[in-house]
Structure 1
Amino acid sequence: MNQLAKFFFKSAIKSSRQPFQLTQKSIRNFSSMEQLKKLRDETGSPIAQVKKALDEFGGDFEKAKQFLIEKGLASAQKKLDKETREGVIGLYVSQNRDLAVIGEVNCETDFVARSDLFLDFVHSTLKTIVDQKKNVKFNDEQKDQILQFLQNNTLNKEIIEGTKNENMDKVRQLVISKLQENINVRRVSTVEIQNGVIGSYTHNTLADNIGARACLVSLEGANSSDVSKQLADNIALQILGMKPDYITKENIPADVLQKEIDRIKAEFGDSLKGKPQAVVDRMIEGKLKKFYEDNVLYDQTLLTDQEKDAKTIGQLINEQCKQQNSQIKIKEYILWTCK
C-alpha cells in the first residue's frame, strides 16, 4: 500500500470512530438545536422524527409536539399485547400512617424497570391513590377493572411535560411510547386503618419504597408514637423475611395442627410407648415450639435482634399494649413479590 493510500485509509478509520454529533450546520429549514432537544425530551421520539415533524409543521413547536404524541400513542397501542415479565413492587404510605397502597407494575426488561421514568410513574401512581384517598383492591385477574380505574383517574404529578390533568392510562401509554416497552399495572391494593398505624418494608430497593418485594401491615390500637411506628415497620420486615403462615396460634386450623402432631408422634416412634401422658404431651409440645417459631408470627423473634434473650413479636406487642394501656393487634398484612 503506497503512502497516499495509507493516509486515506487511516483518515477513514479515524472518521468512523468519531461519534455522530448534531451541529447547527446539519439542521435545515425551521429546526433549531433547542427545539429539537426540547421536543425529543418531551415526546421521546427519535431525533430524525422530531426534525421531520418540525419541518412539516413549519417550525410550529406545539403542532409538531401534538403530532408526535399522537404518533407515539399509536405506537404504544401496538405494544400493549407484549408480555411483561419484569417489574417492581411499590409502596406509598400516608404521612399519618392511616392509609397505604401496594402495587405491582410490570414491563418487558430489567433495564426499563430500573429507569427513572418508569420508577417515577410507579411512585406517582401509588401516591395519587393515597392522596386522593382511593380504596382499591385489584388482583392480577382484574385487568379490565384496573384499566377502567386508570382511565377514570388523573395523575397528580406531571411526570411528562404537557400531561397535566391527563388520566393515568394516557400517561401510561406516553411512558410506553418514550420507553418503547409495554407497561402494565398488574395489581394494586390499599390498606386502611381508623385506629392504629401502618408499617411497611421494601426489599431490594431501586428507589424509595420500590423494590422486588414489599410488605404492608396494620397495627390496630397502636398510637401514633415513633415507638409504635417502628414496631409496625419491624413487623413488616419480619413478615417479608420469614413469611409466616399464621399471625397467632389461634389462627392455625385444627386439621393443620393435628397433622403436625401426628407427624411428631411418628417421628418419636416407639420412644413414646410406656411414658406417662404428661411426659408425652411435654415432648410433643417441645417439638411444636419449632413449628410455631417457623410458622406463627407472634412466636418469632425479630430478625434484627440476634440476642439470646430476644423477645418474640407477641411479647413486643404486649409490652406496647402495657405502655399505651390499650389492646394492640395485627389487623391485616399484604406481602407481595414481583411475579
Structure 2
Amino acid sequence: MANITAAMVKALREKTGAGMMDCKKALVEANGDEEKAIEILRKKGLSKAAKKADRNAAEGRVEIYITPDYKKGSIVEVNCETDFVAKTDEFVEFVSETVKVINTNDINDVESLNKAPFGEGTFEEELKVKIAKIGENIVVRRMATIKAPENGIVNGYIHAGGKVGVLVAAACDKPETCEAIKDTLRDIAMHIAAMKPQYLSPESVPADVIEKEKEIAKAQLLKEGKPENIIDKIIPGKIKKVFQEICATEQEYVKAENKETVAEALEKAAKKVGGSAKLVDFVRFEVGEGLVKNACSMADEVAAALK
C-alpha cells in the first residue's frame, strides 16, 4: 500500500475542493494514484449531487462575456439555493468561467454545455463536483449569445452584483462609428437593466399584442364616454404610448438631458463622428424571473451553506 502523505492529501484537496478526509480515503482507495483518486471523488460527487437535484434553486447569478473585439457577447443565468452561496467567490468564478465556455464554443443549450470541456473533464462533471462541494443544488437555467452585424458592435452591463445582466447589439455604418458608440451602448444596456423593456422596437412587437392593446384602449375610451366616431383617431396615440413603455428604442433614455429616446441617444452618439447607428438586438436576464423562491432568512442561508 502506498504511503499517503499530508502533502498528497493537501494537493488533492486543492485540485478537487473535496474535504480532507474524503481526499485521504480516495487516495488510499486509489493506492496513491492522484488521477484515480480524482475520478473516485468525481463519482462520489455525482452521488452526492443527485440527492440535491430536486431542491429549489431560485437564487444565483447572471454573468456576461464579451469578446475583445466586441463582436460577440454571451449571457448565462446560473441558479443556486441561497443568496449566501451566490455571493461566494467560488460560485462567482464558476459562473464567470461557464459563460466564457458558452461564448468560446458557441453553445446555446444545456445539453451541449454539459458535454463541453471544462477544467479536467466535462462541464457536467465539474458541475456535479461543485454541487457536492458547495452543498447546494446548482442549475444552469438559461443562456444566450448575440453577434454583431458585419459593421456592428456588442456591449453589455451587469447590475446589482450579478442580479441583472444585459447584452445589446447595434449596427453601424462604419467601424469608426462602432468605436464611438461603445460607451453609449453600455449605458443603453444599463438603461435596459433598469427599465425592463419587453421588445426591441415597435416593429418587433407581435401583431396579437398590438391588437390586444387596441382592444384595451377602445374599452377604456368607451368607458370614458368618448364618441365611437373619434375613437379610431385616438387609438394610434394610445398605441404610441404603449410602445414608449415596452420598446427599448422608444423609451425615454434614463441618461438623457432633453427627453430623447434610446434610439435618438444612440444616433446622437454616432453623429459625433459623422456616422449612424441603430439597435438591432438585446437580451436581458434577471435572476429568478418567474421562479418561486424559498422564504429564507440570512440565518437559514448560513445554516444551509454550512451543511
TM-score range, shorter chain: 0.7 to 0.9
Instruction: State the partner residue of 2:117.
Output: 154
User: What per-residue deviation string (whole Å, max 9, x for no partner) do you get for residues 260-283 of structure 1?
Assistant: 64256347536x799xx7xx96x8
Paired residues for 1:84-99 under 5 Å: 84-99=57-72
Q: Aligned to 1:84, what secondary structure does the other structure show?
A: coil
* Residue equivalent to 1:17: none
Paired residue for 1:189?
Answer: 144
- Structure 2 equivalent of residue 330 of structure 1: 279
Match of 1:300 in 2: 251
Distance 2:35 2:201 in 1: 61
| Distance in structure 2 (CA, Å) of the matches to 1:284 and 1:56 | 75
> Which residue of the other structure, out of 195, 201, 215, is the alignment partner of 2:157?
201
Gaps of 5+ in 2: 289-307
Q: 2:168 is matched with which residue?
A: 217
Q: Distance in 2 between matches of 1:62 and 1:258?
A: 65
Q: TM-score, normalised by structure 2?
A: 0.75
Question: Which is higher, the Rg of structure 1 or of structure 2?
Answer: 1
Determine the structure 2 residue equivalent to 1:41. Answer: 14
Across the aligned residues of Structure 1 and Structure 2, the Cα RMSD in angstroms comes to: 3.3
Instruction: Say which SS state the counterpart of residue 334 (structure 1) adopts.
Output: strand
Give the TM-score taking structure 1 as reference length. 0.69
Distance 1:115 1:268, change over 3 A: same
Say whether residues 1:227 and 2:191 are aligned partners. no
* Alignment partners' CA distance in 2, 1:237 and 1:260: 31
> SS at 2:70's partner residue?
coil
| Cα deviation, residue 57, structure 1 | 5.7
Structure 1 segments unaligned to the other structure (5+ residues): 1-28, 139-145, 206-210
Aligned to 1:314: 263
* Secondary structure in 1 matching 2:117: coil
- Higher-RCO chain (CA-CA 8 Å, sequence separation at least 6): 2
Alignment of 1:50-89 (within 5 A): 50-54=23-27, 63-89=36-62
1:264/1:321 Cα in 2 relative to 1: closer, same or farther (>3 Å)?
farther
Range moving further from structure 2, 296-305 or 189-198: 296-305
Residue pair 2:185, 2:266 contacting (<8 A) in 1 also: no
Aligned AA for 1:330? L
User: Would you say how many aligned residue pairs link Structure 1 and Structure 2?
Assistant: 280
Partners in 2 of 1:97 and 1:290 — Cα distance?
Answer: 33
1:63 deviates by 4.9
Matches within 5 A, 1:231-310: 231-251=184-204, 253=207, 254-256=210-212, 258-259=214-215, 261-262=217-218, 265-266=221-222, 269=225, 290-305=241-256, 307=257, 309-310=258-259
